Structure formats: structure tokens, C-alpha cells
Amino acid sequence: MLERFYSMLGADIGIDLGTANTLVYLRDHGIIINEPSVVALNQKTNRVVAVGSDAKQMLGRTPGHVVAIRPLVDGVISDFEVTEEMLAHFIGKAVKLSKKNGRPRVVIGVPSGITNVETRAVRDAAVNAGAREVYIVEEPMAAAIGIRLPVQDPVGSMVIDIGGGTTDIAVISLGGIVNSKNLKVAGDRFNNDIISYIRDEFKILIGERTAENVKIAIGSATKPKEPMEAAIRGRDLLTGLPREVIVTDADIREALAPSIQVLLDSTKEVLETTPPEILSDIMNRGIVIVGGGALIYGLADLLAQTLKFPVAVADDPLTAVARGTGIVVENLEQYREVLIEHDNELPPR
Ligand code: ADP
Ligand code: MG
């Protein structure tokens, strides 16, 4: 009897709608989906052929009329319909797993600095995808909650979220974002930096996947204790034939240096415009970096040396936002103030 009553309520779902990866948290289950934000589209029929990991598998292996799209590539919804289909796909999976019949309640993390129009687009996409109630939280806030920073206390915290398309730098206090900056220098830019560097220095053209693999394998912001190298294969620009070269950690560090400098300068700018009391809290408590880019070797150290602030990489930085959206959806009343916009009435539970 009671069981039937509960099954009528919808599932509680938290979603990190990232530019590179979408993660879904389901109450009582934890993170159940962690897949690339990629959709494969048949251009002849305009139908979605695959979503997530299945779609990424198809990248570069499809017949001409099937294209793989990253609908959120710059942290904004570049393709509304495709985003909606992707959300519908992931929400559908979560609902099925929850075994609940009602329409779900969804908390979605979006990049900070998203416009009202884009926020509405995300909300509408989730409603069209079947959500009964949709709550939006800015990703750096969700990340801070996910890593258990005291976001609602009268104390300043600072989070840098380095994702695929965008980096969010945010200062948080009393349940709100006090100061922030959103920039398009993040993982994708690092990959492009590597492609350009290898083209200019080695006269070889490499693909995005290769660049990303090299970045993850030997990318660094400071000199590692042991030298590292990787063999990469690309197309020789002179002969047009495949050629393999060995690149070192120093090569990749040089390739990434200008973009990393932009991250340093932007963080400095945010600090410079942060009120002194909060600055002193951040000085005491340190800056935390999250997102896939936080895993670049030496980045936290370089930030700490340059800014003269303590800097740490969060545990499991790629899931921080998703964990945060999960905490919010499970404690909606408590976290009401951190939501960007809430025209839904919270029903009694
Ligand atoms: P988003 O939130 O925008 O979806 P994520 O936080 O999921 O982005 O991070 C994805 C980015 O992190 C990608 O650009 C990926 O290449 C990068 N990344 C993942 N792991 C590593 C690593 N170990 N070192 C450097 N970059 C990484
Ligand atoms: Mg993210």
C-alpha cells in the first residue's frame, strides 16, 4: 500500500548538464549516468540516432549523413532541440531505473553567466522531457555544495570549475554567488592549443581525440618530477602521409601555457574585485578547483604559487556538480535560496 503511494511520486533527479559530460544523480541510487554530452543526428531524417556514449562511439565512423553534435559546446545551448532530446533520453533512463510512475522533480546545473533566455530554454527542455518541477542551480554553486563547502554560512568560499567548453570562477557566501567570471578557456581550448602547437612545431596534423588523449596522459602546468613523453600519430603536412612523433611534457606545457595564463589572470581579476572580508576567508580556507581540467598536473600548485593563496583539487572533481545537484534535490527546502529561479511551488512532501 505505502509502496504504491511512493511509486506515484516522481523520482528526484539531479543533472549536471556539462559541455563535455552529462551526469545524472538519482535519489537512493547515486550517480547513475556519466556520459559525453553528444548526440548523433541523421541529417536526412532529422532524427536522433544515438545519445551519449553510443553517439561518441560513432564520431568519425558515421556515413556522411549522420553527424555527431555537442549541443552545449560553449556552455550555452547552441542547439535547443538536440539538447531537449538529450535531456529527455537521460531523464527517461533515470525514471525507468527509479521504478516511480509520477513525473520527476529535477535539479539542473547550468554554467554561471547563462542568460535568462538560456535558463528558460533549459527549463523548457526539461519540462518537455517530462519533468514535473524543474529547479536551476549555477554549476559552481552546485560544485561547492557537492564538495561540502559551507555555502550558506556567512563565510567566503571560492571554486574554479574547469570543464570542457567553459571555466567558471566563483566566489560564494550566504547562499549566493558574490562574484564570478565565466570564460571559454577550458578543456576544449587546451585540446586546440595542442593541435596548433603540434602543427606548428612538428608539421603534423592531429585530431581532437588524439590531442585530448595526450593532454590527459602528459599534460601539465608545472614541471613533473619525472619527465614524461607520448607517441602521437597524425598526418604529415608535407607528404600527406601518416607520421609518428614523440612529444614531451615540456612540449605540452608550452602548448598550454598561454591558456593557463588566461586562467591565472582571470582568477586574479575575480580576487581583485572581491570584498576584503571575503578575501580573507578565502585566504584562510583556500580555493578549490573542480571539473576535468582540475586534473591537469601541477595546475593547483601553479595557481597557489602565482596567487599566493592555498589551492586544492577537489576529490573526484568530475562528479562534484552532479553530487551537488543531488544534495539540492534531496534537500530542496534547505537549498531554496541557491536556486537561480524558482517559479515552481514546492509541494509538501
Ligand atoms: P563539463 O562540465 O564542461 O562537461 P568536465 O568537468 O566533465 O566538463 O570536464 C571535461 C574536460 O576535462 C574535457 O575537456 C577533458 O578533456 C578534461 N579532462 C578530463 N580528465 C582530464 C585529465 N586527467 N587531465 C586533463 N584534462 C582532463
Ligand atoms: Mg561541468
* Percentage helix, strand, coil for the chain under 3-state DSSP, each rounded to 5: 40, 30, 30
Residue 201, Ramachandran bin (φ over 0: left; ψ between -120 and 50: alpha; else beta):
alpha
Q: Give dist(CA 293, CA 219) in Å, integer.
A: 10
**Residues in a beta bridge with 108:** 15, 136
Ligand approaching nearest to the C-alpha of 184: 1
Q: Give the list of residues 6+ apart from residue 73 with CB closer than 8 angstroms, or none.
A: 19, 165, 188
Following DSSP, what letter does each residue of 217-277 receive, concatenated?
HH-BSS--SS--EEEEEEEETTT-SEEEEEEEHHHHHHHHHHHHHHHHHHHHHHHHTS-HH
Q: What are the per-10-residue average pLDDT scores of the chain (349 residues)?
A: 67 95 96 96 89 86 82 71 90 93 93 80 89 95 98 98 96 96 96 98 95 98 97 96 98 98 98 97 98 98 98 98 98 94 50
Question: Can you give the pLDDT at residue 345?
Answer: 47
Strand order in the sheet with 10-17: 30-36, 21-26, 10-17, 102-110, 133-138, 339-341
Strand order in the sheet with 204-205: 204-205, 229-236, 242-248
Question: Can you give the pLDDT at residue 278?
Answer: 97
Could you tell me if the CB of 20 is within 6 A of ligand 1? yes
Question: Can you give the pLDDT at residue 348?
Answer: 44
Of all protein residues, the one whose alpha carbon is nearest to atom 12 of ligand 1 is: 292
**What single DSSP character describes residue 310?**
-
Please choose from 22, 318, 321 the residue to mutate so as to test ligand 1's pocket, defined by most ligand atoms within 8 A of CB.
Answer: 318
Could you tell me if the CB of 21 is within 6 A of ligand 1? yes
Task: Note the pTM of the prediction, 2 decimals.
Answer: 0.94
Question: Can you give the pLDDT at residue 4?
Answer: 63
How far is the centre of ligand 1, averaged over its atoms, from the C-alpha of 210 (Å)?
A: 14
Closest ligand 1 atom, residue 165 Cα: 3
Question: Can you give the pLDDT at residue 7?
Answer: 62
